[in-house]
Structure 1
Amino acid sequence: MKLFKTIAAALFAVGVAGGSAFAASHSEKKDIVDAAVEAGSFSTLVAAVEAADLVETLKGEGPFTVFAPTDEAFAELGMTVDELLKPENKDKLAAVLTYHVIAGEVMSGDLVDDSTPATVQGSNVTIDLDNGPMVNDANVVTADVDASNGVIHVIDKVLVPEGVL
């Protein structure tokens, strides 16, 4: 449970951050949550982390690798965000959020093409480096946002584990 909570915290931080603006504003090393809050974007991800009761977790030691979808990525999700944030969908939401987190710190230079690392949710994601770094079918738009308890890679699509939505 502690690991789950820590991962959720990492997601929260990534969500609040917001792509390149996040990387630029991250001059001193803060944990993922503080860095995200300071950046002031990723409002949808932050709302999702709050709705899933994962905020408390995100200040853990880590390290974590978080693939953080942008607000635009959430807007393109087939299910509306309002529907996903409903209390009756809390378990689905937690599964989606934890599918964006890998235990350990994996910088972009450490990614291995065609590897399938396990996520905190329990399913695997596929790393593709042939056409720029990708996780499943999401492009990494900002890589290696360093935090004291891990690393954030901003992505342009919400990752959804099979059978969850």
Structure 2
Amino acid sequence: MFHNHSGDAQLMFKFTTAAALAASILLPLSTQAQTKDIVTTAVEAGSFSTLAAALDAADLIGVLQGDGPFTVFAPNDAAFAKLPEGTVEALLADKEALTKILTFHVVPGKVTSDAVVKISEASTVAGINAQIEVKMGEVYVSGAKVIKADIAASNGVIHVIDSVMLPPDF
């Protein structure tokens, strides 16, 4: 029992086509609007206040809010707390050393965990290679253990690490 109401069918086709077109345009925008840049994502997580303060002191916030993409091996507040007493304060006062350490935590491009485990080193923004090892199923980057991987951001990816990575000459 099919009734052919050509006017109804045409109207339904136009409505369906318009809805599909609107969805295809709006869906990427809404998805994009929900994903925040690396700095905002880290700050909103609530466990990177020391890293945020360090990025601010080194004038790197604007860079990591840029287009990227970037991969950041982000030490959380507990990682900074492991440093000897006075180290964070000394680094915040020494912009050059702080910048070198922080850029040692950043790799150009988006390197997700499935790619990280396939490489033995990654060239960092500091111009120094970070060593990557997989031990008993755990990933280590220059001695720091990745404790949470693949936190998506609009301009890259964050991997949370349990200690601050220091370049070899520190």
The alpha-carbon deviation at position 70 of structure 1 amounts to 1.1
Which residue of the other structure, out of 90, 97, 120, is the alignment partner of 2:95? 90
Aligned positions of 1:1-165 closer than 5 A: 28-78=34-84, 80-86=87-93, 89-113=94-118, 115-131=120-136, 132-164=138-170
1: distance between equivalents of 2:74 and 2:156? Answer: 13
1:49 positional shift: 0.7
Identity fraction in percent: 53
Please report how far the alpha carbon of residue 130 of structure 1 lies from its aligned counterpart in structure 2 after TM superposition: 2.5
Separation of aligned partners in 2, 1:128 and 1:42: 24
Q: How many residues align?
A: 136
TM-score of the pair, normalised by structure 2: 0.74
RMSD: 1.7
Report the residue type matching 2:135 in the other structure: D
Bigger radius of gyration = 2
Could you say what secondary structure the match of 1:139 adopts?
Answer: strand
Whether the aligned pair in 2 keeps the contact of 1:113 and 1:127 (CA below 8 Å) is no
Give the whole-Å Cα distance in 1 for the aligned partners of 2:62 and 2:44: 17
Unaligned runs of 5+ in 1: 1-27
Normalized per residue, which structure has more strand?
2
Q: TM-score, normalized by length of structure 1?
A: 0.77
